[in-house]
């Protein structure tokens, strides 16, 4: 098998016959938090979109601070599931509504996001941050925040497997709120999970 990358962190533990799941923990040099995202070797991380809650249309991506290159991981194609349907929306400022249908919910099933999963290869010793861009339905208000601010919460670990209702590391965003209400600190405006299980791509094929 041709070697691809040294490490891969995946949401699920099931892999093909060319891969094996390891119990190896995150190395001390690995960083995956509000400070930055950085690995000592080329590393693939798989991401899963869970839900968004908010009236703005958002895109979440990764910025390589070393090179300046930016990559979008998840892009909303409309602000929320019920957008344009005239359905009444139950709002709950200040309350985390993850897992519910309240407060301008956006889901894959409802057509707000087209892809539930994506993966990204972090280059060795390059420093990265996540960013969230959002625009109001009228297009008049635009925001951009990054994960080094206190508007992104990291919970769990890339090597954490599944603990409680979190697989790997959950990153929950507060986008700053609507202009009229301000920042409501609900941290459910855009929620993803990363990693969970280490897949070794250097192992020999299973015969």
Please report whether residue 206 resides in a domain: no
pLDDT in tens, 66-89: 999 999 999 999 999 999 998 888
Q: Is the pLDDT of residue 15 over 50?
A: no
- Looking at residue 3, its pLDDT comes to 31
Structural domain including 142 reads: 7-200
pTM here?
0.82
Please report whether residue 146 resides in a domain: yes
pLDDT in tens, 117-146: 999 999 999 999 999 999 998 899 999 999
Query: How many domains does the chain fold into?
Result: 1
| C-alpha distances out from residue 188 to 39, 43, 136, 140, Å | 27, 27, 17, 23
Tokens describing residue 165? 């209702």
Please report whether residue 207 resides in a domain: no
- Looking at residue 203, its pLDDT comes to 52
Q: Is the pLDDT of residue 4 over 50?
A: no
Please report whether residue 186 resides in a domain: yes
- Looking at residue 110, its pLDDT comes to 97
Compute the C-alpha angle 145/147/148, nearest 5°. Answer: 100
Tokens describing residue 199? 């897949």
């Amino acid at each position: 098998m041709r070697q691809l990358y040294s490490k891969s962190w995946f949401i699920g533990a099931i892999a093909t016959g060319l891969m094996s799941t390891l119990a190896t923990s995150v190395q001390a040099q690995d960083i995956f938090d509000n400070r930055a995202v950085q690995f000592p070797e080329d590393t693939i991380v798989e991401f899963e979109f869970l839900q968004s809650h908010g009236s703005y249309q958002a895109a979440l991506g990764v910025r390589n601070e070393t090179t300046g290159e930016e990559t979008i991981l998840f892009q909303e194609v409309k602000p929320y599931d019920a957008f344009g349907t005239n359905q009444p929306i139950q709002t709950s400022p200040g309350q985390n509504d993850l897992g519910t249908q309240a407060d301008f919910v956006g889901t894959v099933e409802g057509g707000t996001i087209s892809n539930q999963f994506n993966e990204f290869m972090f280059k060795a010793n390059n420093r990265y941050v996540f960013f969230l861009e959002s625009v109001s339905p009228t297009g008049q208000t635009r925001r951009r925040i990054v994960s080094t601010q206190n508007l992104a919460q990291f919970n769990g670990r890339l090597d954490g497997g599944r603990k409680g209702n979190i697989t790997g590391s959950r990153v929950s965003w507060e986008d700053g709120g609507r202009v009229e209400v301000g920042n409501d600190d609900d941290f459910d405006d855009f929620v993803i999970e990363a990693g969970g299980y280490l897949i070794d791509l250097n192992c020999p094929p299973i015969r």
